[in-house]
Structure 1
Amino acid sequence: MTTNTNEIQFSKHKKNLYTGSILSFLSILFSVLFSASDATLASVWMLSNVTGFTLQRSRFCFASGFRDLFLFGSGFTLKGILTGLFISTVGFSAIMHWLVPNTGLGMLPPEAHIFPVGLSTITGGLIFGFGMVIAGGCVSGSLYRLGEGYVTSISSILGISIGMILAMMSWDWWNNNVIKYEPTLWLPQIQNIGYSWSIVITTITISALFLLVNYWESKAGIIDTNINENQNPAYTFPEKIFHYFKSIFLKSYSPILGGSILGILGILMFIVKKPIGVTGGLSHVIAIPLTKTGLISSETVSSLNELGGCTSSNESLVNSSFMMTFGVIFGSFVASIISGEFKIRTPKNKNRYLQSGLGGILMGYGATLSLGCTIGAFFSSIPSLSLSGWVFAIALGIGSFIGTKVINRLI
């Protein structure tokens, strides 16, 4: 009976598996072509594919992490985010210690997401947090949903692009009047506390927040459910293989598992090139025509490059930032094809296009101002032991809370 059930389930997904296998082969072929010019690009592309795959299978969205806590009292996704932060912090610290063994020399680890902290961080976080709730998803959420067929993600990404254009056109004002006066604070160099105390402070704070989210859930009456699926035990070799296939490609991942995988991927990405960030590819593509048409100057792009993070770049079109952004979309597409979840989805309420577009504009502006989105300025910045990551997170939370209140009034 079990064998028949597994055979029926496998036959149902056989076509999707074949299509997904072809797409996976194309992805590997792309990486081989990329490696001809730069081996790093191939690695970044493949890791970005896995990132998109993980985001899709776990339905991992930072917007829902904050929104669900404020709207429903559910912290399932937020606990996954905190788990990923904990794992990344340990891994990032080891990498940064290898890059900069002596924190007392005043050097910062190359490529780590350590940004200026101040009014720009707070403003960007508030705007981004509000925008992602209004749009119904963060930047990474919009990218992976685009990969599985959500048409509203197109309007969201278009909005993000418009927001980035507006931010780049006003960047010189922000940089000359605000950002260049803001300090870049790296925890190991504050009072020269070093790596050990920085790791202790960061991991204890993350752990305390994890407990706080659980307490919040208990007050809201949210119950953790753990359903043990043992209806089709695997005995034979084919059954065992199908069990693994089902667990990886068909079943949804829990937020904790999704966050853990993303944390590990962040570490691997840092080893290969730099921490994960998904807005850099968009800003890079946008900056090229803006520079050529004279809407922004090459000096503006240079000042963005100097600050690093998920910003524009003066490299060729196909660079590591480009790979991260578009690799996520492709990875999500493969995941949704294999699982049979890909479908062109249009909203019943056409106002959702406007809502996601306006939210996207706010996210694009906020992400540029903060030098990253929920991944670059938060998920990759806190593990980099940057104070800016925590300030951005607080502003992000406040912006999300305000956005939730607005959504409540609109519903």
Structure 2
Amino acid sequence: MRARRLGLAALALALVGATALAAGPRAGVLLAIGIGFGLVLEGLRFGFAGPWRAMIVERDARGLLAQLLAIGVTAAVIFPLLAANPLELSPAHAPIGIGMILGAFVFGAAMQVVMGCGSGTLVNAGSGNQIGLMALIGFVAGAFLGTLHTDFWAGLGRLPLASAQSLAGPMGGLGLTLIALALVAAGITMRAAPGKRRPPARLLLAALLLAALAVANLAVAGQTWGIVYGLGLWGAKVAQAAGADLGGVAFWANPANASRLEASILTDVTSLTDIGLILGAFLVMRARATPGAPSMALAWRGWGLVLLAGIVLGYSSRVALGCNVGAFFSGISSGSLHGWAWFAAAFVGSVLGLKLRPFVLITPRAMVTP
């Protein structure tokens, strides 16, 4: 067991070193941060979709409260960082719009169908779960397809960009954010079942580690932690390799996106942390005494529905301007009001998704539940 873990640690260091040699030290550090995300999410069983499901079905608030703690701790650190470095660091601010709210609602439903959000899909795939891999393939395709229609969804109408900082300044905005998190946490605690209101030490540790990694990601990448952009970029690169001309697509004609499309994915900060997250989950799975074997719990109909749900998950996350990480976690922790709107819409969508999930016939053994 010890030899196996030492070997896996050596593998991780070798991959980080190879990335640093190929794309520079910053790329190597970002890959290491992504691996850290995967180690925490899979190793400490911290997730997003699963705790929402537990709260809705069982009134178990422990996982959701841990999420709010992680967001609050992250906000307490990055609000001052953003204020002190406005030109170097970018928050996850986005406008609230009709398309964004619809996308978040659909995303919330789809993530309960496939039993994983953006980060959960990466974790499931990295941990060797074949259903998670199928969902990831769909997510990549859907995130790319969503980039083809950004103008349409934006054209449905949106509010002016607003943030906690624009309402009350950096420190006042932080105060508003922490108060809002505390009020939501209090409301959730009141709704929770007895004995399911206090996160265990494992989740508290995971929340603090995620906050530390999110801060490190901001400092190194210059932007908050995200998932969706990298997956959409992968899909665009596949489409381009297959002969698609993306020059006429407004999203990919944007100079910043066009340059990323032409460059190696090792130069894209979101891709690096996405890849690292998959690797981190893989390392945890292989380090366990009895690594779980991939499960084939679905009939053909179920596989098709998982792929379709993955496509919907990716498409809706693009329309919603982020997933549980980019919109909910990073949006709220950096002061964006759209993060709160996303949270409300996606949570309502999750209620619908839980009613739809039995039709996919996913068994409890078939997926881990981050």
Fold conserved (TM > 0.5)?
A: yes
Q: Residues 272-291 of structure 1: matches in 2 within 5 Å?
A: 272-273=220-221, 274-291=223-240
CA displacement, residues 181-232 of structure 1 (integer Å, 9 cap, x when unaligned): 5421122213xx212221111101111222222222236x647596xxxxxx
Determine the C-alpha separation between the residues in 2 that align with 1:47 and 1:155. 25
CA displacement, residues 209-264 of structure 1 (integer Å, 9 cap, x when unaligned): 22222222236x647596xxxxxxxxxxxxxxxxxxxxxxxxxx722221221111
Determine the C-alpha separation between the residues in 1 that align with 2:178 and 2:330. 14
Determine the C-alpha separation between the residues in 2 that align with 1:305 and 1:368. 17
1:382 pairs, out of 318, 332, 335, with 332
Partner of 2:191: 216
Partner of 1:145: 124
CA displacement, residues 72-108 of structure 1 (integer Å, 9 cap, x when unaligned): 11122111111110111111101111123xxxxxxx8
Q: How far 1:374 moved relative to its partner?
A: 0.8
Partner of 1:407: 357
Determine the C-alpha separation between the residues in 2 that align with 1:223 and 1:316. 45
Partner of 1:23: 11
Task: Say whether the 8 Å CA contact 1:74–1:217 is kept in structure 2.
Answer: yes
**Structure 1 portions without partners, runs of 5+:** 1-12, 101-107, 227-252, 307-311
CA displacement, residues 348-371 of structure 1 (integer Å, 9 cap, x when unaligned): 233542343232122101111122
More displaced 10-residue stretch of structure 1: 401-410 or 65-74: 401-410
2:317 maps to 1:367: yes
Partner of 1:104: none
Task: Say whether the 8 Å CA contact 2:107–2:312 is kept in structure 1.
Answer: yes
Partner of 2:153: 174
1:96 pairs, out of 82, 92, 115, with 82
Seen in structure 2, the aligned counterparts of structure 1 residues 225 and 93 have a Cα distance that, compared at 3 Å, is closer
Structure 2 counterpart of 1:372, which letter? G
**Structure 2 portions without partners, runs of 5+:** 362-370
Q: How far 1:298 moved relative to its partner?
A: 4.8
SS in 1 for 2:293: coil
Task: Say whether the 8 Å CA contact 1:149–1:342 is kept in structure 2.
Answer: no
Structure 2 counterpart of 1:143, which letter? L
SS in 2 for 1:275: coil
Q: Residues 75-224 of structure 1: matches in 2 within 5 Å?
A: 75-100=61-86, 110-175=89-154, 177-178=155-156, 181-190=158-167, 193-218=168-193, 222=196
Partner of 1:259: 207
2:32 maps to 1:46: yes
Determine the C-alpha separation between the residues in 2 that align with 1:349 and 1:290. 28
Task: Say whether the 8 Å CA contact 1:31–1:46 is kept in structure 2.
Answer: no
Structure 1 counterpart of 2:77, which letter? G
Partner of 2:251: 300
Seen in structure 2, the aligned counterparts of structure 1 residues 134 and 15 have a Cα distance that, compared at 3 Å, is same
SS in 1 for 2:70: helix
What do you get for the CA RMSD once the two structures are aligned? Answer: 2.5
Q: How far 1:30 moved relative to its partner?
A: 2.4
2:275 maps to 1:326: yes
SS in 2 for 1:382: helix
Seen in structure 2, the aligned counterparts of structure 1 residues 400 and 166 have a Cα distance that, compared at 3 Å, is same
SS in 2 for 1:293: coil
Structure 1 counterpart of 2:156, which letter? V
Determine the C-alpha separation between the residues in 2 that align with 1:225 and 1:116. 32
Please, what TM-score do these two structures have when normalized by structure 2? 0.87
Seen in structure 2, the aligned counterparts of structure 1 residues 186 and 170 have a Cα distance that, compared at 3 Å, is same
Task: Say whether the 8 Å CA contact 2:121–2:135 is kept in structure 1.
Answer: yes
CA displacement, residues 93-146 of structure 1 (integer Å, 9 cap, x when unaligned): 01111123xxxxxxx874211012111220111011000001111121111121
Determine the C-alpha separation between the residues in 1 that align with 2:139 and 2:186. 34
Determine the C-alpha separation between the residues in 1 that align with 2:82 and 2:202. 30
Please, what TM-score do these two structures have when normalized by structure 1? 0.79
Seen in structure 2, the aligned counterparts of structure 1 residues 341 and 278 have a Cα distance that, compared at 3 Å, is farther
Structure 1 or 2, whichever has the larger Rg, is 1
Task: Say whether the 8 Å CA contact 2:124–2:133 is kept in structure 1.
Answer: no
Partner of 1:317: 265
Seen in structure 2, the aligned counterparts of structure 1 residues 314 and 405 have a Cα distance that, compared at 3 Å, is same
Seen in structure 2, the aligned counterparts of structure 1 residues 397 and 223 have a Cα distance that, compared at 3 Å, is closer
